[in-house]
Amino acid sequence: MLAYILENYGKVKESDLNNEKALYADEPILVKLFDALVARYSSTFKTKDEILKYITRKAFTTIRNNYKQDTNSKKNGMMSNALCKRYFRVSSDEVEKLGIDINHRESFLQVLFPYRKNCKNKARYKDLIERLASSQEFYEDYCTFVREFMRIMESEKEKKANLFVPFLLDCVKKGNVEEIANYKRIPWLETWIRLAEITAEEIGVALKVRVQSKSPNKKQKLE
């Protein structure tokens, strides 16, 4: 049941959903479960900003992990300094002088990947953002991430489903499927995954255009 909804919800007609639900007509609790799952997913939306935030988090984590493995960097400080030099052509000390904690994922992402159009970080850290967006090295690392992205998405979907299924079974056992409405980390629908894949590829295209339009950055002091 869950596999069907994850694969088809948002892609098939309501009549198709009703036909699928009819397969469980002999088990009223399963009919309720089906309706509860549909209600849970119909009340959940993935905005463009949420998708962008998800992708940039995954990109940051994946790039750091890959770089850590490739360079055998054991200390976060050493790795962060290496990445700053790789992408910005400056040391991590110069970046931190701007008040940025390069070892804290969320604060670093808020600087480099401002999610909202009116985000003040776009102006405050304009130079850093421009350097990142026009970095050939970052573009290459991001492309590596995109090639791994669907594997990452499918792996995460499987992990979430493996946690969600026992919860669903427990709800059925208790006869209380209404609890599904409060479950937080639901597995992603296939339509959400596809939207994330398209968005990740669009970011890659935008980076490629930016890199090609900029001459290689020379090492210079941050303003």
Q: Is the pLDDT of residue 147 over 80?
A: yes
What pLDDT band is residue 218 in, cutting at 50, 70 and 90?
very low
H or E element, residue 95: helix 92-96
d(CA 119, CA 14): 39
60 touches 108 (CB < 8 A): yes
Tokens representing 29 are: 């609790």
- Domain spans, the chain: 2-46+164-192, 48-147+202-213
Average pLDDT, the chain: 82
What is the structure's pLDDT at 4?
97
Question: Which pLDDT tens digit goes with each residue over 100-129?
Answer: 666 666 666 666 554 445 555 555 566 666
Mean local confidence (pLDDT), 27-48? 94
Residue type, 150: M
Share of the chain above pLDDT 90, in %: 48
What is the structure's pLDDT at 143?
93
- First-residue to last-residue Cα distance in the chain: 56
Q: Is the pLDDT of residue 88 over 80?
A: no
Element counts in the chain: helices (H) and strands (E): 11, 0
Residue whose tokens read 């992408």: 87
3-state secondary structure 171-184: HHHHCCHHHHHHCC
Q: Is the pLDDT of residue 217 over 80?
A: no
Residues 6+ apart with CB under 8 A from 74: none
Q: Which of 14-18, 77-81, 116-120 has the highest mean pLDDT?
A: 14-18
